[in-house]
Structure 1
Amino acid sequence: MSALPAFSETAERIRDDGHAIEVARALAADFAAGAIDRDRHRRLPAEEVERFSRSGLWAITVPREFGGAEVSHATLSEVTAIVSEADPSLGQIPQNHFCLVDAIRLVGTREQQHFFFSQALNGKRFGNAVSETGTPNSKTIKTRLTRTPLGLRLNGRKAYSTGALFAHWVPVAALDDDERQVLVYVDRTAPGLTVQDDWSGFGQRTTASGTVLADNVSVQPLQVVARHRLFEPPTIHGAFAQLLHSAIDLGIARAALADLRHWVRERARPWADSGVDRASQDPLTLHRIGELVIRLHAAEALQERAARFLDASRDSDASEASARRVTEASIAVAEAKVLTTTLSIDAASVLIELAGTQSTLESHALDRHWRNARTHTVHDPLRWKYHAVGNHWLNDAQPRRHASL
């Protein structure tokens, strides 16, 4: 078991949307400076994560009623993209934290909301222990929360637990005795809970998305949230999660394009047949870059549009009109995710193509953009985004309700 995360008992408070963007930009400038070194040596960003959460940015979705800034989804998306452009591992680590704060907002009891929102406002971090391996599909859960004569006990094994290593609370997805899905917010120091640093992905190398083991962990009722209620009646929880993933990919694309701009202007040589003196004057290079820039602007526009749909749905009730708004938001996010996914991968690849052979040298670490994009974008299958959008447009079909759409 790794050392427990650092924790300051105080955190700054973000005032509003503008303040959130300002703080994100300042932090990102610092985070970018060490991103290559962290990736190259897989140096886990414990210090950076502590600064990130202590800045108040991890609490920006807490409702105003409970003392939070309750920023717009557009602001949350842009904060995530800004940090991800600097270091997409740091952009991904709080993704699950925001989703687990959202779960408390949607289905937590009043007592749970007061307690866990206060924890977030004071700088405490929520990790993630949802996925499992060795199951028929990614949505199958074998982890169990059982009633015993001594109280509730949690047992199971989780994989891809992004954020758990840096967390103070590790929410674990499990089935209760009634076969209902629950989220168990486990104290990181709880006896029987082990967080293993065994993530070995070739990209997003410092997210520490390792294994979580729960061995007869004692649980109090306050820690148990009804996960089975997250999507019935329809809520924006799945679209919310996907918007953040899309923002991470947008940040990776921006980082790759920033390096592309520098290399074509300052380092790359023109092709001999082009008849120009500089790579930045090569007409075929300009055509390739123009295509990427247009796709970037389209992706940014769809990302902002999707965020507006989520804002419109956030406070919806259970009416039929509300269900339609949730569907519209889910489809809008799927459309944005298609563009940010393909753009992040293509921009990272075209960077190497146009920058030339010297750009492949390990000393430049330009391969990290592709590795990060390719690793992060397999989180959920893009092919099913196209299917959901097309099926809705043509047949008015409703998308499936889970955290992957």
Structure 2
Amino acid sequence: MGTLPETKIDYSVHPRVNSTDPIPPRPRPSEPAHVIRSDAEAIEIAERLAERFKLGAALRDREGLLPIAELDEYSQSGLWSINVPKAYGGPEVSYATLAKVISIIAAADPAIAQITQNHLAIVATVDLDGTEEQKQLFFGWALAGLRYGNAFSELKSKNVATFETKVRFEGDDVIVSGEKFYTTGALLSHFVPIVGVDETGQGHLVFAERDAPGLTVTNNWSSFGQRTTASGSVKIDEVRLPRVRALTVTSFDHPTVGGPVSQIIQSAIDAGIARGTIEDTIAFIKTYSRPWIDSGKETAGEDLFTIAAVGDLKIRLHAAEALLEIAGRAIDAARANTTLETVSEATIKTGESKVLTTEIAILAANKLFELAGTRSTLAEHNLDRHWRNARVHTLHDPVRWKFFHVGNYYLNGVHPPRHAWN
């Protein structure tokens, strides 16, 4: 943590988000990605990568630099295939471990962590809904180091679960047309899985190459937070692909862990944002902040109220992280024994974790400036990125509804709804 380096940036090498910089599809890796063999190895690799990703996080945010080199290293590390089942050559780590990995990366750079979210959720969907042929194909791509972006949400639809993108089948082909927004990871991916519906309303996930004819990815993400996720838009104009690329999604028609898996990754990102923010708060207080005049102390770190506030932040963070692990274990249990009861338990525990991680992420970002003082707002430090990232990312799935579903479950025995946002 400290002031941003005055670095001369070559934008031809480091393209920017929401710009006209040419960003061609990413080449496929020249060698297969590493395959992780244990939960402990996954965490060790995440910690090692996080140390490097943290170094340029503030600069990338300030300049809007897309993390291209970082993503290549990240996906080649094996962390993008950690939930591929063992039966298909993957690590199949615990979802508690997966959440820990994402929170470690998010503490260093939450934008990089968010780009992973849809890829891992797609891998889980393949496990739940794919045919044997599709599992061999899509898991194989993930293990090889190929990245999945997404083309899920639509900007003009009635709600997040309403899709106007159309899928139709002609012989051995599938054809897709529509428009998407919030397409995190698509710009820098190798494949863009597209959500669309057929004439009966059945949903499908169709895997298109990033450079497929008719597929246009636009670098137009302009949010004030999570800036370098490149979550822009995708236009799909009669994209024709082999029929095997169309995965029929039925995992929300009956109890599965599809929703909790998607949600625990979001919760882990918020936990990471909170941890990274608190670490920078402590570092700033120790390095730059002055003690308040009424404290009678020589340093800001000796201020009694500051000490108590940091203690409160740490306690809340640890509670959120503990519940995140509990949620991961509940997902593991529901995968091993899938029933309405176990899936509901995993969904509720994940919802509880989402409440706590959301609250601590926003609280920590607010407290940073209160405790660190006015000089922490100077542009040279770019600490406002923590608040911007927390505020934007926690909007994904409103916690006001988590409170409702949790309360309705415990009070009235009502099972929570099944969809990707719960």
The alignment's TM-score, normalised by the length of structure 2, stands at: 0.93
Runs of 5+ unmatched residues, structure 1: none
Query: Which among 42, 47, 52 is matched to residue 25 of structure 1?
Result: 47
Aligned to 1:6: 27
Aligned to 2:309: 288
Instruction: Please say if 1:252 is aligned against 2:269.
Output: no
Residue 198 of structure 1 deviates from its aligned partner by 0.5
Residue 376 of structure 1 deviates from its aligned partner by 0.5
Q: Which moved more, 1:281-290 or 1:374-383?
A: 281-290
- Show the 5 A alignment for 1:355-374: 355-374=372-391
Is the CA contact (8 Å cut-off) linking 1:2 and 1:195 kept in structure 2? no
Letter of the structure 2 residue corresponding to residue 360 of structure 1: T
Aligned to 1:217: 239
Aligned to 1:188: 210
Q: Deviations over 1:225-281 (max 9, x none)?
A: 112x11122001111111000100011100110011112222211111122222112
Change (3 A) 1:334 1:381: same
Instruction: Please say if 1:159 is aligned against 2:181.
Output: yes
CA distance in 2, matches of 1:266, 1:342: 27
- Show the 5 A alignment for 1:229-308: 229-308=250-329
CA distance in 2, matches of 1:11, 1:286: 45
Instruction: Please say if 1:51 is aligned against 2:68.
Output: no
Q: Secondary structure at the match of 2:196?
A: strand
Tell me the number of residue pairs that the alignment of Structure 1 and Structure 2 aligns: 400
The alignment's TM-score, normalised by the length of structure 1, stands at: 0.97
Residue 52 of structure 1 deviates from its aligned partner by 0.5
Q: Deviations over 1:301-338 (max 9, x none)?
A: 10111111011011334xxxx21000000000010110
CA distance in 2, matches of 1:105, 1:160: 24
Letter of the structure 2 residue corresponding to residue 163 of structure 1: G
Q: Which moved more, 1:272-281 or 1:297-306?
A: 272-281
CA distance in 2, matches of 1:205, 1:295: 27
Instruction: Please say if 1:116 is aligned against 2:163.
Output: no
Residue 13 of structure 1 deviates from its aligned partner by 1.3
Residue 2 of structure 1 deviates from its aligned partner by 3.4
Q: Secondary structure at the match of 1:70?
A: coil
Q: Secondary structure at the match of 1:164?
A: coil
CA distance in 1, matches of 2:90, 2:173: 34
Letter of the structure 1 residue corresponding to residue 257 of structure 2: I
Q: Which moved more, 1:83-92 or 1:260-269?
A: 260-269
- Show the 5 A alignment for 1:60-75: 60-75=82-97
Aligned to 2:62: 40
CA distance in 1, matches of 2:180, 2:316: 37
Q: Deviations over 1:140-162 (max 9, x none)?
A: 10000123579431100000000
Letter of the structure 2 residue corresponding to residue 253 of structure 1: A
Aligned to 1:339: 356
CA distance in 2, matches of 1:86, 1:361: 21
CA distance in 1, matches of 2:90, 2:218: 32
Query: Which among 194, 197, 207 is matched to residue 229 of structure 2?
Result: 207
Provide the aligned C-alpha RMSD in A: 1.2
Misfit runs of 4+, over 3 Å: 147-151
Letter of the structure 2 residue corresponding to residue 398 of structure 1: H
Letter of the structure 1 residue corresponding to residue 350 of structure 2: V
Is the CA contact (8 Å cut-off) linking 2:172 and 2:243 kept in structure 1? no
Is the CA contact (8 Å cut-off) linking 1:11 and 1:123 kept in structure 2? yes
Is the CA contact (8 Å cut-off) linking 1:6 and 1:46 kept in structure 2? no
